[in-house]
Structure 1
Amino acid sequence: MIKYYFALGVAIVTEIGGTMALKLSDGFTQLFWTLLSIAVFLLMLYSLSFAMRVVPLSVAYGLWSGAGTILTAAMGAVLFHETFSVGQVIGLLLIVVGVVALNGSGAVDEEIDYEGLQVEDKFK
């Protein structure tokens, strides 16, 4: 199970890296940054799809999109000196609350073997 959460972590980190490269591509006018963003986004998609084999969709997508949004905003502030309005800070805090609520409310009374429920096994 840990390898799937590791893949989710890779998907989050590569999404942030791909987004930073996308910003530096300057509207796809900088070839190196354009190609790097495409390559990193492909790795992100692979990692996310691998994680979704076992990690429940709501958890995987919630963590990926929430963490990606928050960390990308933080990186934008650090690397590109972007500033936040009060509304943007409140919005980011609401994302944190939403991701925590989504993951915290997913507890089920019975133990589910997600590795045994892999999608690839269902379609063979």
Structure 2
Amino acid sequence: MKYLFLALAIIFEVVGSSFLAASNGFTKWIPSTITIVSYLACFVFLSQALKGIPLGVAYAIWGGLGIVLTAIISVVVFKQRLDLPAIIGIILIVTGVIVMNFFSKSVAH
């Protein structure tokens, strides 16, 4: 259940970030409302996930997957381009999350 809560937190964070871009600086009320509700849901689910997942692990997964999914949405939906340094940076973030989760002994799973 803890990873389901984390997955929901990630999904709501990505939705919130996507609608934040669409809110035009909070000048459009529907995307602004969706942003606020999505971030609220995100943090509710993240707090539930933290009951069973260590903070460092949960935050690394949440942040890493959130970055990747948000970058994908920015390319697909908003037609933004990622240059090579951005792609390399995203790969390094994902690699860091993988290394931390599978090889680190400093964070108990």
Distance 2:85 2:64 in 1: 17
- Is the radius of gyration larger for structure 1 or structure 2? 1
Moved over 2 A (4+): none
1:26-45 deviation per Cα after TM superposition (whole angstroms, max 9, x unaligned): 00000011111000100000
Distance 1:86 1:22 in 2: 25
SS of equivalent residue, structure 1 residue 83: coil
Distance 1:27 1:97 in 2: 33
Distance 1:106 1:58 in 2: 11
Q: Give 1:36's aligned residue.
A: 34
Q: Give 2:96's aligned residue.
A: 98
Distance 1:13 1:35 in 2: 16
Q: Supply the RMSD in Å over aligned alpha carbons.
A: 1.5
The answer to whether 1:22 aligns with 2:58 is: no
Q: Give 2:7's aligned residue.
A: 9
Distance 1:47 1:106 in 2: 25
Distance 2:12 2:47 in 1: 13
Structure 2: where are the runs of 5+ without partners?
A: none
Structure 1: where are the runs of 5+ without partners?
A: 115-124
Q: Give 1:62's aligned residue.
A: 60
Percentage identity across paired residues of the two chains:
34
One-letter code aligned to 1:29: T
Distance 2:104 2:95 in 1: 14
Distance 2:27 2:51 in 1: 36
Q: 2:51 aligns with which of 26, 29, 53?
A: 53
One-letter code aligned to 2:48: F
Distance 1:96 1:35 in 2: 30
Using structure 1 for the length normalisation, give the TM-score: 0.83
Distance 2:105 2:7 in 1: 21
Using structure 2 for the length normalisation, give the TM-score: 0.94
Q: Give 1:120's aligned residue.
A: none
